[in-house]
């Protein structure tokens, strides 16, 4: 059964999803019919669920392709997981389908990624503190 991974924070703002992977610092916004489709999570069979969604909403082939690609990207990014049993806690969203964008779009925000990949491992002295003091050379501090 597919559902949003537990470690992912999801919020609905103005009929758009904002997804945050709080472990990696990657953020995503999701717009369009894909929002309505993915609000049906959890479900077991992606193809069957998408088929029903397309038929019910009279969605175009292009849009079907967009949703399929977004689905693959969400799996690739480990935002959605496939677990053998139904999760205890699931998300519930109230979406106004008349106000969602016409086309599905997933945007990734990775502004923080470089900062998150800082290498923290340094040579240390006998007390465990770093041998070189870099505090004055680093232009950090937000």
Partner 1 sequence: MVIKEYFEDVYNRVIDQKDNYEKTTVAVGEHFADIYTSDSALKRVFFYSIAHLITYNALTLSSLTIYCITDDILEERLKAPTLCADELSLNGNYNNSDSDRYFIFYQPWLHQIYLYDSLHNIAIYWVKGINNIPWWEPTFSFRIIFHWWSLKTPYQLIHSGAISKDGNKTFLFPAPSGSGKSTTTLQLWLSGFLYLGDDYIMIDVDKNIVYQLYSTAKVETITLEKFLPELKEKIINKNKLQEQKGILHIENLQKIYALPISGIIIPNISSGNYGIFECNKSAAQLAIAPTTLHHLPHNRDTSFRKITKLVQTNKTYIWNLPTLRDTLVNQFSQFQVNE
Q: What residues between 32 and 51 interact with partner 1 by CB under 8 A? A: none
Binder among 48, 86, 103, 122 for partner 1 (CB under 8 A): 122
What are φ and ψ of residue 46, in 5° steps? -60, -50
Neighbour count for residue 3 (Cβ, 10 Å): 18
Rule CB under 8 A: choose which of 58, 61, 88, 120 binds partner 1.
Answer: 120
Task: List, in order, residues 6 or more apart from 112 with CB less than 8 Å away.
Answer: 25
Footprint of partner 1 on residues 86-115 (CB under 8 A)?
Answer: 109, 111-112, 115
Residues 29, 16: Cα–Cα separation, whole Å: 7
Positions touching partner 1 (CB under 8 A) are 9, 11, 13-14, 16, 18, 20, 22-23, 25, 27, 29, 109, 111-112, 115-116, 118, 120-122, 124, 127-130, 133-142
């Amino acid at each position: 059964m597919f559902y949003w991974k537990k470690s992912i924070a999801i919020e609905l703002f103005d009929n758009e999803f904002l997804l945050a992977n709080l472990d990696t610092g990657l953020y995503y916004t999701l717009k369009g019919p894909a929002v309505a489709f993915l609000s049906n999570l959890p479900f077991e069979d992606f193809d069957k669920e998408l088929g029903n969604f397309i038929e019910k909403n009279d969605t175009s082939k292009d849009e079907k392709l967009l949703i399929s690609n977004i689905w693959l990207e969400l799996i690739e990014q480990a935002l959605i997981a496939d677990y053998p049993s139904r999760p205890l806690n699931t998300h519930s969203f109230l979406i106004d389908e008349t106000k969602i964008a016409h086309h599905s779009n997933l945007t990734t925000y990775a502004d923080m990624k470089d900062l998150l990949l800082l290498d923290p491992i340094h040579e240390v002295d006998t007390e465990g503190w770093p041998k070189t003091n870099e505090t004055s050379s680093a232009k950090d501090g937000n």
